[in-house]
Structure 1
Amino acid sequence: MSPKTFHACPCSWTRPFGRASKPRACYAADKVGRIMLQTLYEQGLRHGVDSFNEWVTLNLIHDGQRCMGVNA
């Protein structure tokens, strides 16, 4: 099972921004990008992830495997 199927995202591709070797972004105004953002938001709510509107992330704090916090 692919990660996108596991998280109930009904899509399997992203737009090739800048012809990069790795997909790095989803276009929010596109149907696929919008669905991916909606799915991410729903999964965050489902798992009790706190959300802060209008904040900018400066750094993720991690232990090498898991995200432990954020510097905003």
Structure 2
Amino acid sequence: MPSSVLRIHWPDGTTSQATSGSAWLEAARAAGVTIPTGCLGGSCGACEIEVNGRMVRACIATVPPARSGELRVELASDPYW
């Protein structure tokens, strides 16, 4: 599936656009949203976000394509971070 521009709904109520295949941390930074990070290698889980109900590690994941053209992001809540 070719890259497409998606509307992203962030936990703080803002929306932004990002291209599918772009890095989650870059998409968040461009939107002014801070995603907590730890190891930046995918092993610690500090950067876990929920994207349309699916957990991903933002430091190693990319924005997926979506048929609807929209994604809803929630920050994972870990009491240890």
Does the alignment reach a TM-score above 0.5? no
Choose between structure 1 and 2 for higher RCO, CA contacts under 8 A separated by at least 6 residues: 2
Q: Which structure has the larger Rg?
A: 1
Which TM-score applies when normalising by structure 1?
A: 0.29
The structure with more strand, counted as a fraction of residues? 2
